[in-house]
Amino acid sequence: MARTGGALRRMTARSREEEHRASTPLELFFDLCFVVAVAQAGVRLVHAVAERHPGHGVTGYLLVFFAIWWAWVNFSWFASAYDTDDVPYRITTLVQIVGVLMLAAGVPRAFDDGDFRLTVCGYAVMRLALVTQWLRAAWAESGDARQTALRYAFGVTLCQVGWMALLLPHGAPPVRAFVLLAVAEMSVPALAERAAPTTWHPHHIAERYGLFTIIVLGESVSSATIAVQSAVDEHDALGELLPIAVGGLLIVFAAWWIYFAVPIHDHLASNRQAFLWGYGHYAVFGSAAAIGAGLEIAVEQAVGSAEISTRAAAGWVTVPTAVFLFTVWVLHARHYKRGVAQQLNLPVSAVVVLACTFTGSHAVLWAGLVCAATVALGVTLQTRGAGQTPVAPSSSPTP
């Protein structure tokens, strides 16, 4: 059902059986604005590692990426159930975009000085704007659906009060306080939907996550390309950088192929399955973005701009690549595997990619070749088994 921005609509739940449910231009614009924050987090991680503060960099990256990821997740699931695409909805979404840009602007200060105040203010803008959407849905709904919307509004608001109380006075909270509030945030959907589940659309949710994966992988390609270009211009080191560039492209290409090899919407049959899958994407998105940062680190080490060992630089690429391979297998690829060989392909490949860390100056290239071989093996195994065991329909071969 086509919807266009116009007069005020009653914000009632959309049907889960709605045909041709696809991402809207506003959702795509929303995603692209989030990439600004993802890029900022990656850049600061690279700087922290280059300045020999890896622990600080990783902690800051994980904290900031949680804020980015969780705000995106909540918007996407709400939109899947209640997108009216009218004027108030569009304006509220644009306000959320302002929030993510504020968050992005605060990332350097959060990394460099431990001052999260601007970041948390941007996060609060995004989250409180979503509260107004839930209140609007509560006004239009009745019964259990209204109760669910009110629980969401109350829970999200309460969490924002907690963030403000812990972060604004000093800017840098203890990590344990951050973890506590993060757990509280992630508990809101489970508690709210006990009254009645929202009518999120499996095909739409699968597409939304897939599109954000593409954007994050694209950011990794962009980051690596800029790093290689800068290094070539400043150091004329094409010979040292070519293996990193080739290996990095093979990793990103394989990551795309592996992620989109199965029609995951068939697996999203209940809140329990969908929530576990959706929450698990923190590792998928975070590792995909970290691959780009790792490639930048490898480039800087190759030209002598980062004072870390070759092995350490390789690890910044191989570890997030292995995490991506393993979490994609855990979340949905394994549900479509048939036989021991297919099931072991991705987890074994993750281990082999980690082992590539110890292969010297060409570690990134070796990791890329392993990823390419993983895809080739997956295609071969599926082709051989296609005529023996029924497999869920897919638009592409599955590794």
| Residue appearing with tokens 């036989």 | 339
Looking at 155-257, which runs of residues are DSSP E strands? none
202-385 — its CATH code?
1.20.1410
Q: Length of the chain in residues, anyone? A: 399
pLDDT interval class at 236 (50, 70, 90): low
> What is the SS3 assignment for 386?
coil
So where are the chain's domains?
A: 25-192, 202-385
| Contact between 195 and 144 (Cβ < 8 Å) | yes
List, for residues 100-133, the tens digit of each pLDDT value: 999 999 888 888 777 888 888 999 999 999 999 9
Kindly tell me if the per-residue pLDDT of 89 is higher than 60.
yes
* Per-residue model confidence (pLDDT) at position 2: 42
Kindly tell me if the per-residue pLDDT of 393 is higher than 50.
no
* Per-residue model confidence (pLDDT) at position 235: 63
pTM: 0.88
To the nearest whole number, what is the mean pLDDT of the chain?
A: 86
Kindly tell me if the per-residue pLDDT of 168 is higher than 70.
no
The 3 state secondary structure assigned to 327-380 is HHHHHCHHHHCCCHHHHHHHHHHHHHHHHHHHCHHHHHHHHHHHHHHHHHHHHH
Phi, psi of 259 (to 5 degrees): -65, -40
